[in-house]
Amino acid sequence: MEELYRAIEAKIKESGFEREVSGRDVYDDLCEQIDDKEPGSYIMLSKFFDDVVFEYTVTVMEDNFNLSILTITEGEKKYTIDFDN
């Protein structure tokens, strides 16, 4: 799992987002939000900081999920991370 967390962190940094973000926290937040969701596609929001919104575009399947896009909005700035590429 540590490799997954580091990959999340690396993708976020590559987007140009400058704040420190824990890959574990992002993963845990997403898992908490999709808990008990029916299979399908969802857009979910989280506030990791007072002025920053994380928008997850995720597909929930029976036994797993796919986070395809993470959009981070910080004030007027937007950072888009495509996890499918």
pTM of the predicted protein model: 0.91
pLDDT given at position 67: 96
pLDDT given at position 48: 83
What is the rounded CA–CA span in Å between residue 53 and residue 29? Answer: 13
Q: Is 29 within 8 Å of 22 (Cβ atoms)?
A: no
pLDDT given at position 84: 92
Question: What is the C-alpha radius of gyration for the chain, rounded to an integer number of angstroms?
Answer: 12
Phi, psi of 61 (to 5 degrees): -115, 180
Q: What is the pLDDT along the chain (85 residues), one digit of tens a residue?
A: 999 999 999 999 999 999 999 999 999 999 999 999 999 999 999 998 889 999 999 999 999 999 999 999 999 999 999 999 8
List the alpha helices (DSSP H) in the chain: 2-14, 23-34
